Chains A and B, each alone.
Chain A
Amino acid sequence: MNLSRKLLILVPYSWLVVLFLIPFGIVLKISLSDIALSIPPYTPKLEIFSSSAEWLQYFMALDLENFIFLSEDRLYYVAYLSSLKIASISTLITLLIGYPIAYGMAKSPEHWRPTLIMMVILPFWTSFLIRIYAWMGLLSNEGLLNQFLIWTGIIDGPLIILNTNWAVYIGIVYAYLPFMILPIYASLEKMDVSLVEAAEDLGCSATSAFWLITAPLSKPGIIAGCFLVFIPALGEFVIPSLLGGSDTMMIGKVLWEEFFSNRDWPVASSVAIILLLLLIIPIILFQRNEHKQREVER
């Protein structure tokens, strides 16, 4: 192995070790420490160059206290469950809205498709914060949505949507819709249309041909899309913080408040570790799905 090749590997490698791996080690370490009224607000502290006795003493002082605290306090329990619930429901709604759009795109005239794809991707390039902010004005009590609904006579008084979980659902669906549309579109687009034609020739109705052929063949896209929405939605902070109410419990928000408002670093770190554990399962399933897909295509 020559020098330049070594350098090529070493530079990005060490960057990631220093700024990604080591920081996580620190989170894990602090999650096992106790809160203290000092700066930084936790004990025990450890210098890298300590004697072996100090190391031993250090590890003796670590315990799972914060995790026991998390499991005993209902607040965190509720926050995890409600994050799971909000993320699953919004993923389902995103699928129901995203599928017809992806289907429409895949069945559109071919020269239209690049423009349509571009139109789906474009919102992704605009600021996430601004896209969520746009809904704050729309959903408020005197906002345009309520004005419109009252004008059409559907409702008499304003619906309270902003600062409830409904607004959080709308925000997640809106923000992550492109992530659902694109993989479903990709799997529908490469589907062989003649299969559906054959089914229809053999007497299938259009609806049953869809359920028997199109839907199963687009399953990989559906699975990928659902993971791409579910995984970021679970740890979401901006949406519950701006659109949700004080009773909207999501784990990203709890972690933020634990850190910035309560300044309880050990508990914030433990919350982070548990959120990671929750995420590992869907991430592994997602990777397995992607891997299987690649094998099939080969």
Chain B
Amino acid sequence: MNQSRFSWFNATSLTFGFAFLYLPMLILVIYSFNESRLVTVWAGFSTKWYGKLLQNDAFLDAAWVTLNVGIWSSTIATVLGTMAAYVMVRSGRFLGRELFSGMIYAPLVMPEVITGLALLLFFLAIGLDRGMVTIILAHTTFSMCYVSVVVTSRLITFDQSLEDAALDLGCTPFDAFRSVTLPIIAPAVISGWLLAFTLSLDDLVIASFTSGPSSTTLPIKVYSAVRMGVSPEINALSTLMIGVVTAGVVAFSLASRKIMINRKSDF
């Protein structure tokens, strides 16, 4: 089979497939620069909706809350998720191991409405006021499971004798982890953090259940605006979010590719 170029069938299916994946977002971005308030009629180029957006205090406040929740929850989730992954791969048998691995995988397949409902009822039961703290706790809980899956897959392929050597040479377990294991699993830990961060930025359902009146996140704000219909301000906001995420992901993957190439040339 010829592997050096595309056959017409494959070229067509890839073109249509990627057009389907990317055209809706491309159109959304284009229409954020539309002069008209009507989102379906093109009336000339304008950046006025971006100006309007930056003057909208409600959106800016929500963006601040979202950013705070994202950074805190993904950082705590990365620490907890890495610990959980380490326990799963290295700790051997301990009491309740099955339950532990069940609790790590369950949130990945759990519908968000159920997780949100369960956490809200829990916060009410213990009398914790809903606000930024409850959203952070909720987001940490589900994203630590994603982090743990990402880090686990890296830890499995990692040569444990390196760690044993460090221990034999007099390192404490913590030192061995910090100076041997952590540098090797760092790419997985960083992508775990990025994943947790985007999951937190993205989450509408769980945040709606666990947020209080004083702490509205950006997705909640967007959702309530969008229910009234399409608006160019939301298009502008979406464009900014798409831009930031795309730049971040592309930069990260280029950086990690570069590191991989450098590592290969070291050996």
Contacts and interface: CB of A to CB of B under 8 A. Distances in A.
A287 B226 CA distance: 37
Contact of A100 (B17, B31, B109): B17
Given A12-B80, A12-B87, A110 B107 contact: no
Contact of A131 (B11, B24, B106, B204): B24
Interface in B167-214: 173-174, 198, 201-202, 204-205, 209
Interface residues of B, number: 79
Interface string B86-110: 1100010010100010011011010
A255 B31 CA distance: 34
A127 B1 contact: no
B111 A129 contact: no
A234 B111 contact: yes
B84 interface: yes
Contacts of A19: 119, 122, 137-138, 140-141
Interface in A178-231: 178, 181, 193, 196-197, 231
A238 B204 contact: yes
A245 interface: no
Task: Point out which of B6, B118, B122, B249 has the most chain A C-beta atoms below 10 A from its C-beta.
Answer: B118
Contacts of B253: 118
Contacts of B103: 16-17, 20-21
Contact of B112 (A20, A97, A235): A235
Interface size class of A (residues with CB under 8 A): 35 or more
A224 B186 CA distance: 29
B125 interface: yes
Contacts of A8: 83, 86-87, 91
Contact of B205 (A12, A147, A238): A238
Contacts of A232: 109, 111
Contacts of A60: none
A120 B21 contact: yes
5 contacts: A107-B3, A126-B241, A126-B242, A127-B245, A255-B114
